[in-house]
Structure 1
Amino acid sequence: MAQSVSTVVLEPAAQEVARMTANPPFLFQLGPEKGRAKLAELQSGNTPRPEVDIEDIMVPGGPSGQVPVRIVRPRGEGPRHNGVGGGKLLDRVRSAAHEMMQPKGVGGLLPAVLYLHGAGWVFGDSHTHDRLIRELAVQSHSAIVFPEYSRSPEARYPTAIEECYAVAQWIAAQGGDYGLDPSRMAVAGDSVGGNMATVLTMLANQRNGPRFAEQVLLYPVTDANFETGSYREFADGYYLGREQMMWFWDQYLPDRAERSNPMASPLHAGIDQLKGLPPTLITTNEADVLRDEGEAYASKLRQAGVPVTLVRYQGIIHDMAMLDSLAGTQAARSLTAQAAMTLNRALHHGG
């Protein structure tokens, strides 16, 4: 099928990223291990980021029995984990640069944002998303709970989803022991993380599981259809291409027939499956192959009676919230502020 000719005018930083990534070898062509290392290298610069408190723990549950989780709190806000019996603060594995004692006078549980990272189910971790989750924690005055879910192709659908669901259950059951308020929980994610975030809300409805006050989906994957208008227009030359997304899907869910399952492609969910999902913020990017499926999902949620805010950011490409090289763009600053404001309103002011 002929590729459409795009006339999009990108922000200068986005144009530079698009130019630098327009020719092979592309990240996915390096393979999982080298691709992970390369993305980590790209995200290892000196981009300013707010100071926070970091706690790394192991959460029981999921297919393998436990899930590594990072909790990121605004510096000095909210209590940490209380030990059994003495009520003393336990020293957990923390970022050495930010280790500190619990401040006096700090009380009250922090609302929890379960954040599921993007990067194709294959790449990404708490390092690549460090600045973003710090900014969200500080600006929303919430604790970001970040599962280091098992990535593909080592683990395939639905392993990562079940691991993240186990973390949601843990927050609901034991979050209070770690300074998290189980009654004020939201879920968020970027790209494939947005895919899994909304799937968690559907699973929670089906299983009578944890309740989410809000879902924030940043340019989410909602379908495995590579023939949408945005896929045709931005198939090549705009950072995330059609071939790369096809490769990501092959790593995550090789069975193409199974990709129509709503737990893999939420755009295929029936209206009844979507009824009762939490209020939703969906953002899309103008020059992004995922744009049309994200906007189609917003429309379908609205048909199901879900309160939806949909915002398309102009002049920007995929991964603009995560990439440190795009942190200073108008689009990235606005998106982070909007996501944080939405979470703050839902978790601190009852929506």
Structure 2
Amino acid sequence: MKHLSKAVPAMIALSVGATMAAANPVPEHQTQAFLSALAAGGGKPLEQLSPQEARAVLTGAQKSVQVDMSGIEVSDKTIMADGKAIKLTVVRPQKVKGPLPVFMFFHGGGWVLGDYPTHARLIRDLVVASGAVAVYVDYTPSPEAHYPTAINQAYAATKWVAEHGQEINVDGKRLAVAGNSVGGNMAAVVSLMAKEKATPKLRFQLLLWPVTDSSFDTDSYRQFAEGHFLTRNMMTWFWDSYTADPNERAQIHASPLKASLDQLEGLPPALVQTAGLDVLRDEGEAYARKLDAAGVEVTAVRYNGMIHDYGLLNPLSQVPEVKAAMRQAGAELKAHLN
């Protein structure tokens, strides 16, 4: 008892320290250097740029460092859905023959930014870690198109791969969906659509720091509104570009967090990764809790010290937490697809 009584003050001190750290989180040191460089750059906020200018900013950031792109083979395939062409980029593990399991990849960038080149290293890391093929979907961005165009294209591409996988040498029966940020939103929504339409059969959903709600009413939105890469104002611009209609935003195909437990029941297993210093942190974790409440097999992991899109940003690709997050994501894909 004496030993226990001496330990109690230390335990209380640890608890208080942990609470203070949670209330005042700090970025990992390489991440802080990245944020400091952004602040010193003095550029206009992204939401004050044209879509074309904003896209160029992300492209420039991704090209600013060299990354490992070994171990993959890349090809393109164009499919037709509802009379319109959708370009797919197929990323395979190098020198591996035969139909492999496959995951769809929907890119982030607020429905406005991003393309295959900006996401190539992230996709490569997932392919190498999982041993599966990635099919990147080149959906039409906003404001060129608005909700629900992109999500309908994402679902159509997923259904096509399930039904015609042999055309790209993949096993469409071992199929998952994956995406980062708004791409995580799209992966979640495609999972909902697949349940509603009873096709295709999905084995897994990989939701990387996903957008799940349009309300902006969370502690993380208030705490990290500015100064942590993705800002509240940027997300406002992204949502306005995708759909400014409050009725559309409330639909579960835009805000999957609004889905009922009955609508979530029976969805494929999920891994939800969130960043400790991200406006989207709380809504991603809320979605994971709701999946769990609906009986879905879900793993939710918060990477402390990380900012939004930590796994996408090439300047952060060698940060230990980022490498660990990619290994986890790849391992979960592999476990559920094999």
TM-score normalized by the length of structure 1: 0.87
How big is each residue's C-alpha offset from its partner over 1:179-234, in whole Å with a ceiling of 9 and x where there is no partner?
11011000000000000101001101111110110001000000012120000000
Contact 1:115 1:147 in 2 (8 A): yes
| CA positional deviation for 1:304 | 0.7
Partner amino acid, structure 2, of 1:31:
S
The corresponding residue for 1:71 is: 90
CA RMSD of superposed structures (Å):
1.4
The corresponding residue for 1:14 is: 31
Task: Supply the distance in 2 between the matched residues of 1:13 and 1:27 (Cα, whole angstroms).
Answer: 22
Q: 2:242 aligns with which of 228, 252, 260?
A: 252
Counterpart mapping for 1:49-68 below 5 A: 49-62=69-82, 65-68=84-87
How big is each residue's C-alpha offset from its partner over 1:45-104, in whole Å with a ceiling of 9 and x where there is no partner?
312232311011101115x611011000011113xxxxxxxxxxxxxxxxxxxxxxxxxx
DSSP 3-state at the match of 2:236: helix
Q: 1:315 aligns with which of 271, 288, 305?
A: 305
| CA positional deviation for 1:40 | 0.9
Residue 29 of structure 1 pairs with residue 19 of structure 2? no
Moved over 4 A (4+): none
How big is each residue's C-alpha offset from its partner over 1:110-147, in whole Å with a ceiling of 9 and x where there is no partner?
11110111011000110000111011111111110000
Residue 169 of structure 1 pairs with residue 159 of structure 2? yes
Structure 1 residue runs of 5 or longer lacking an equivalent are: 79-107
Q: 1:42 aligns with which of 52, 61, 69?
A: 61
The corresponding residue for 1:81 is: none
| CA positional deviation for 1:260 | 1.0
Task: Supply the distance in 1 between the matched residues of 2:261 and 2:191 (Cα, whole angstroms).
Answer: 14
Counterpart mapping for 1:116-127 below 5 A: 116-127=106-117
Partner amino acid, structure 2, of 1:26:
P
Contact 1:13 1:325 in 2 (8 A): no
The corresponding residue for 2:198 is: 208
Partner amino acid, structure 2, of 1:54:
V
Q: Percent identity?
A: 44
Of Structure 1 and Structure 2, the greater helix share is in 2
Task: Supply the distance in 1 between the matched residues of 2:201 and 2:162 (Cα, whole angstroms).
Answer: 8
DSSP 3-state at the match of 2:66: coil
DSSP 3-state at the match of 2:201: coil
Q: 1:187 aligns with which of 150, 162, 177?
A: 177
Contact 2:35 2:228 in 1 (8 A): yes
Task: Supply the distance in 2 between the matched residues of 1:311 and 1:213 (Cα, whole angstroms).
Answer: 20
Contact 1:6 1:233 in 2 (8 A): no
Partner amino acid, structure 1, of 2:27:
L
Task: Supply the distance in 1 between the matched residues of 2:38 and 2:231 (Cα, whole angstroms).
Answer: 10
Task: Supply the distance in 2 between the matched residues of 1:24 and 1:46 (Cα, whole angstroms).
Answer: 23
DSSP 3-state at the match of 1:43: helix
| CA positional deviation for 1:6 | 6.0
Counterpart mapping for 1:76-91 below 5 A: 76-78=95-97
Task: Supply the distance in 1 between the matched residues of 2:252 and 2:188 (Cα, whole angstroms).
Answer: 10
The corresponding residue for 2:258 is: 268
Contact 2:109 2:181 in 1 (8 A): yes
Partner amino acid, structure 1, of 2:74:
I
DSSP 3-state at the match of 1:128: helix
How big is each residue's C-alpha offset from its partner over 1:5-34, in whole Å with a ceiling of 9 and x where there is no partner?
962121122112222334551223222101
The corresponding residue for 2:132 is: 142
| CA positional deviation for 1:315 | 0.6
Contact 2:175 2:203 in 1 (8 A): yes
Change (3 A) 1:21 1:256: farther
Structure 2 residue runs of 5 or longer lacking an equivalent are: 1-21
Contact 1:21 1:237 in 2 (8 A): no
Equivalent residue pairs, number: 314
DSSP 3-state at the match of 1:53: strand
Contact 1:6 1:234 in 2 (8 A): no
